[in-house]
Amino acid sequence: MKFKTGRALACVALVGSFVVTMLPSVSSAATKTVNDSTFNTSFTTMKYLKSIVAKGKGSIAVILPDTVSSARWADFDAPSFKSAFKAAGLKPSQYIVQNALGSDQTQYSDAQADIAKGAKVLVLTPLDSTTGAVIEAYAVARGVKVIDYDRLTLGGARTYYVSFNNVTVGTLIGKGLLACITKWNVSAPDVFVMKGAPTDNNATLFAQGYDAVLNAAGYNTTSGSSNTVLESVGTWTPDTALTDFEGAYAANPKINAVVTPNDENAAPIISHLQAAGLKPQTIPFTGQDATLVGIQNVISGYQCGTVYKPSWLEAQATAALAIYLRAHVKPPSGLVNNTTTDSGATIASFKHVPSVLLSPEWVTASTVESTVVKDKVLKASAICTSSAPTVAGDSSIPTYAADCTTYGIK
């Protein structure tokens, strides 16, 4: 089967324009500086929120979901939130960044404790919409404002939602796979389509994006076909993803291309196949989150690319919203740039959620240096390690230092 391929271009475009309206209290002397600023990896724009911080009372609590579904939550998002709050002038006693460690009960009890200690704004990445809706109802009943971070709580009662355009994320994954199939000369592609956890609304949106791309290329991802195998349930647990793949591969050993919805799910499958002798640029995988393992799999020729969603950008936008809510100041329209429909809402006022939606980017081996390294998300020294073979005599196991030289990563 032949495919039409196109280069998926997406830029990380938050907000050069809204920064000036975001800060109504800055002095005229600072206006030019604000006009020329955007959120950045140095977090310098956050300092213009100090006058808003001074108006607020109480604290801001951030509760992230887990450390298993992606390395991003602990490695990227948590530090970004802390840097953003600190740069904006919040004292350590005025914010807390936590992780529920995959436990619904922990996420709920953390929220209760934070509110009891004086949190006025809760930033929540729900483990699932059922738990998220319970937490949000509890918070709203006590006068606490909620922001859904990265994942929308279906049926929730949050005030705002901040995320990347998740259908676009899936579209980039789908286009990335097709481009890789062509570039790697995969003949008679038989694609295994995997999904994230069904309890995560984002996983549904990702699948919507890549299913549409594959359908347009001649695959039937809704009912299965001779050259598509559809993952029936989905997961964000890497070990479970590997088990699912092993079962599918045993049933259909012709699988030679795989949609994996994030780097963490792809990693154990790739490692498993490497140990069995898989050579680079043989079976294309996809990914998301630009994790260290994902980037290393990309440059070594086992993963087509990864969707880069700069957490420093997402966290700063969310921190800015939270600071406005804490001060009971309406955020400017330039910050809140979209709306998102909550299909699970039973109350009309919660159905159309004011949102900040950002644009993701597809990163390949040739753009690692100009994206995640340039943005200081990952250090070249961490990426470019020399990795010894895990199986004696297996030359397929990559040494990333050589790959970094090939792609100018330094």
Residues near 166 by beta carbon (within 8 Å), at least 6 away in sequence: 202, 205, 206, 209
Residue 109 has pLDDT above 60, yes or no: yes
CA 239 to chain CA mean position, Å: 20
Burial letters 138-160, b for 16+ CB under 10 A, else e? bbbeeebbbbbbbbbbbbbbbbb
**What distances in angstroms separate CA 276 from CA 215, 217, 296, one per listed residue?**
31, 30, 19
Longest dimension (CA), the chain: 68
CA distances from 257 to 41, 194, 249 (A): 35, 11, 11
**φ and ψ of 207, to 5 deg:** -65, -35
Helices (H) and strands (E) in the chain, counts: 15, 12
CA atoms of 283 and 154, how far apart (whole Å): 36
Structural domains for the chain: 19-165+309-361 (3.40.50.2300), 166-308 (3.40.50.2300)
Tens of pLDDT, residues 287-343: 999 999 999 999 999 999 999 999 999 999 999 999 999 999 999 878 898 999 999
Place of tokens 């990227």: 76
**pLDDT reported for residue 213:** 96
Poorest-pLDDT segment among 85-94, 126-135, 326-335: 326-335
CB atoms within 10 A of CB 312: 23
Is it the case that residue 226 has pLDDT exceeding 50?
yes
- Write the DSSP assignment of 163-186 as a string of letters: EE-HHHHHHHHHHHHHHHHHHTT-
**Residue 393, number of CB atoms within 10 A of its CB:** 5
Q: Which of 8, 21, 100 is nearest to 62 (CA)?
A: 100
| Helix/strand/coil for 341 | strand
pLDDT for 396: 52
> Would you tell me how many other CB atoms lie within 10 Å of the CB of residue 106?
16
Mean pLDDT (the chain) is 88
Q: Rounded distance, CA 191 to CA 254, Å? A: 9
Residue range 160-186, pLDDT digits in tens: 999 999 999 999 999 999 999 999 999
Choice among 91-105, 194-208, 222-236, 375-389 with the minimum mean pLDDT: 222-236
The pair of three-digit structure tokens given for residue 93, joined into one six-digit string: 């006693």
CA distance 37 to 239: 43
Element (H, E) at 353: strand 352-358
Q: What is the pLDDT of residues 22-70, one digit of tens each?
A: 443 333 223 223 223 368 899 999 999 999 999 999 999 999 999 999 9
- Its pTM surpasses 0.75: yes
At residue 395, the pLDDT reads: 53
* Tens digits of residue pLDDT in 349-372: 899 999 999 999 999 999 999 999
Sheet holding 257-259, edge to edge: 228-230, 191-193, 257-259
Average pLDDT (232-261) is: 94
Cβ(88)–Cβ(50) under 8 Å? yes
